[in-house]
Amino acid sequence: MTKKNPWFLFFWIMLFIVIFMIFNTIKQRPQDLELEYSQFKQCIRSGSISKVLVGPEFIRGYFKDGNGILKKFRTIPMSDPNLVRDMEDNKVLEFSATTKNDWIGPLLLNWGPIILILLFWFWMLRGMSGGNKRAISFGKAKAKLAGKNSVVRKITFKDVAGCGEAKEELKEIIEFLKNPSKFKKLGGKIPKGVLLFGSPGTGKTLLAKAVAGEAAVPFFSSSGSEFVEMFVGVGASRVRDLFEQGRKSAPCLLFIDEIDAVGRHRFAGIGGGHDEREQTLNQLLVEMDGFETKEGVILIAATNRPDVLDPALLRPGRFDRQVVVTSPDLKDREEILNVHSRKVKLGRDINLNVIARRTPGFVGADLANLVNEAALLAARNNQEAVNMKNMEEAIDRVIAGPQRKSRLMSDKERQIIAYHEAGHALVAKFMPTADPVHKVSIIPRGIALGYTLQLPEEDKYLSSKAELSDNLAIYIGGRVAEELVFSEITTGARDDISKATNIAMKMVTEFGMSDKIGPISLKGPEEEVFLGRDISRDVRHSGKISELVDEEVKNIIDIAKSRASKILKENMNILNRVVGYLLERENLSGEDIDKIIKREELVSLSENTLNNNNNKNNIVEKKVIDDQVLEGENV
């Protein structure tokens, strides 16, 4: 804790006093009317003087002007022995004398600015004398050392579910630090750097915290943005200081989160400018594997964008290990849900395996948010535990956003939305490779006016041409249903058209799924998104090929539209029934859609409510009977 400088406090106190006195003097000066001594004597004789204070250097008091207004006056005294007698004769009510001189005011007015300038200059000199120390601390690294009792060190690999391969790689690093002789006796060298990369929310930072909890060595954590400053050379100085701290504490771990802030590709600006970020990166490269090699200092970095990192940073000898933190599969999602629901009171109907199956594509951050949303919903409803209904609602909130039942829509708009979503669902039901329909809703969520939720039965890592073609038909199915029923189109299919166009474009330019173009990649490289590198690159295909690409994309979407239109025309009665139930219930499950397709009638909401009430009554009656039986037995 730094001590306060007493001169600094004294300076501000003096400044306040000077400013106060100056303003007080300025405030008083216009109110004091300057009178000549002869005028002062005339006022005494005329009886307009009411109060007088006589001092060695001034005479002050109050008098009434010609309008009878009481005003303050001020005059310079003269040698007048008859002054007291004149005031008594003319009945001045109050008069007195003082021997004190008003020296503070004149002193501050005359010498105050000079004193103020001297104090300010003295303070500036003291600040400049300590400037070197502040400049040195400005170039110090802002890395935080995780102590044994810190929150970071309390996280271990038990708190990280999934990521099995990544944890094995990091466990080996920890073993290197704890028992280096085990590897050195066989000629192995300790890795210098580990790069964790993957999609946002997959748990890269959590893995680094777990490493800190598992390792019995010092752990320094920082962010890539902490090295980049507006002052030239500060970033490089902080990198040097970070590794210097690591060398003093070796063996140790250094963690830099979001390293792409300083590790981006060099010479990527126009003209290949050498800016502050590049100097920081150059220093990082030297520290990791230069002439001054630091043994026992391991750098762990995390990023979402490994494609923009400089190749010199990724070569062996710097980042020896590059660990991919992938999105969790079904088993990993169940383990992650188990971890995040440890402190949540779950109901008996909760099945985490079912929830994991219904959340494909969710990463660790999404699953953590899912469990938290379910807990908040249960607390909002004053429940004692989180049930499966809360989990289902939380899944919908994470995917599409919260419900917006307060949004008022006309009957015509609700009908259009119902046909739109029913078109998606019905086309999906009749597509052989489509994922099963889980839920259809016309309740607005987030920015969507309705949604159709499809969930795969298992995790997929590849998509066939048939599957992509079926998905295109499903995306177009909503627009086709509107067009068939209302003979007009709306803006509701904007997002569907955008997704369908992107898939068709990738099929032609990336996946080689076009018969006319063939297995040719027409997509330009996206490793660097810098204008300096990309501005001089030529287009990889001719204008004729571009026209052919546009034709193929349009042809693929037209075929998908024809397939969707054929399905909906042949099943118009089913489409109308689905819409009728949607307008009544607002939500339909995949099982409900199957019953409608099989020409089965769904239980109406009123009957369903009546049955639920009867069931509750039966339960209550059974409980009453049981209680009576127990009472009889007790008797």
pLDDT tens-place string over residues 160-201: 888 888 888 888 888 887 777 787 788 777 778 899 998 888
Q: Which fold has domain 330-400?
A: Helicase, Ruva Protein; domain 3 (1.10.8)
The two structure tokens encoding residue 275: 């800016």
Least confident of 106-115, 283-292, 464-473: 106-115
CA dihedral 572, 574, 580, 583 (to 10 degrees): -90
- The sign of the CA dihedral 511, 516, 517, 518 is positive
Which residues make Cβ contacts (< 8 Å) with residue 409, sequence separation at least 6? 417, 444, 449
Q: Which of 20-24, 190-194, 286-290, 413-417 has the lowest mean pLDDT?
A: 20-24
Residue 219 pLDDT exceeds 70 = yes
Q: Find out whether 254 and 299 touch, Cβ atoms under 8 Å.
A: yes
- Asked whether the predicted pLDDT for residue 283 surpasses 60, the reply is yes
Query: CB within 8 A of 440, min separation 6: which ones?
Result: 421, 422, 424, 425, 450, 451, 452, 453, 578, 582, 587, 588, 593
- Give domain 411-602's CATH architecture: Up-down Bundle (1.20)
The pTM for the full model equals: 0.67
> Which pLDDT does position 178 carry in this prediction?
77
In degrees and rounded to multiples of 5, residue 99 shows phi and psi of: -105, 0
Task: Please check the confidence at residue 449 and state whether its pLDDT lies above 70.
Answer: yes
pLDDT tens figures, 233-265: 677 888 888 888 888 887 788 888 889 888 888
Q: How many CB atoms lie within 10 A of CB 120?
A: 13
Angstrom distances, CA of residue 301 to CA of 208, 210, 306, 324: 9, 14, 11, 12
pLDDT for position 231: 60
pLDDT of residue 486: 92
Is the pLDDT at 573 greater than 90? The verdict is yes
Architecture of domain 144-324: 3-Layer(aba) Sandwich (3.40)
CA separation for the pair 421, 400 (Å, rounded) = 14
- What single string gives the DSSP state of each residue in 87-124? HHHTT-SEEEE------HHHHHHHHHHHHHHHHHHHHH
pLDDT band at 295; cut points 50, 70, 90? low
Choice among 392, 421, 482, 552 that is catalytic: 421
pLDDT band at 569 (very low <50, low <70, confident <90, very high): very high
Pick 365 or 9 by higher pLDDT: 365
Q: Where are the domains of the chain?
A: 6-105, 144-324, 330-400, 411-602, 606-635
Average pLDDT over residues 123-127: 60
Q: Thinking of the domain 6-105, which architecture would CATH place it in?
A: 2-Layer Sandwich (3.30)
Q: Which of 524, 529, 523 is nearest to 268 (CA)?
A: 529
What is the pLDDT at residue 616? 42
pLDDT value, residue 631: 38
Which tens digit of pLDDT belongs to each residue from 575-634?
999 999 999 988 898 899 999 998 888 876 555 544 444 444 443 343 333 443 333 333
More confident residue, 287 or 422: 422
- Model confidence at 417, pLDDT cuts 50, 70, 90, reads very high
pLDDT mean across residues, the chain: 78
**pLDDT above 80 (res 138):** no
Of residues 542 and 96, more confidence is placed in 542
- Angle at 634 (CA atoms; ends 629, 635), nearest 5 degrees: 95
Query: Shortest CA distance to 273 belongs to which of 537, 529, 533?
Result: 533
Summarised one tens digit per residue, pLDDT across range 501-528 is: 999 999 999 999 988 888 888 875 554 4
Amino acid at 570: E
Residues 82-86: what's their mean pLDDT?
75
- Strand-pairing partners, residue 144, are 221
* Residue of 588, 580, 560, 600 whose CA lies nearest to 431: 560
CB 172 within 8 A of CB 215: no
The predicted structure's pLDDT at residue 218: 81
> Which range (74-88, 103-117, 582-596) has the least confidence?
103-117
Cα 161 to chain centroid distance, Å, stands at: 23
- Point out the least confidently predicted range of 191-205, 257-271, 307-321: 257-271
The DSSP-derived string for 306-351 is GGGB-HHHHSTTTS-EEEE-PPP-HHHHHHHHHHHTTTS-B-TT--
94 catalytic per annotation: no
Radius of gyration from C-alpha coordinates of the chain:
41
CA 348/CA 176 separation, integer angstroms: 45
| Residues whose CB is less than 8 angstroms from the CB of residue 284 and which lie 6 or more positions away in sequence, other chains included | 239, 262, 263, 313
**Are 374 and 350 in contact, with CB atoms under 8 Å apart?**
no
Residues 167, 190: Cα–Cα separation, whole Å: 17
Answer with the residue of higher pLDDT: 625 or 52.
Answer: 52
Indicate if the pLDDT at residue 554 is higher than 50. yes
Q: What is the pLDDT of residue 440?
A: 92
Strand intervals (E) in 198-296: 219-223, 252-257
451, two tokens:
């949604």
Amino acid (1-letter code) at residue 430: F
Cβ-in-10-Å burial (0-12, 13-18, 19+) of 552 comes to buried
Q: What letter does residue 140 receive in the DSSP assignment?
A: S
Top mean-pLDDT range of 1-15, 111-125, 578-592: 578-592
Rounded distance between C-alpha atoms, residue 632 and residue 623, angstroms: 14
Q: How many residues does the chain have?
A: 635
> Is the pLDDT score of 436 beyond 80?
yes
DSSP class of residue 27 equals H
Residue of 195, 207, 264, 196 lying closest to 235 (CA atoms): 264
pLDDT at 538 over 70: no
pLDDT at 379 over 90: yes
Which residue from 278, 293, 284, 212 is spatially nearest to 247, judged by alpha carbons? 293
| DSSP state at residue 262 | T
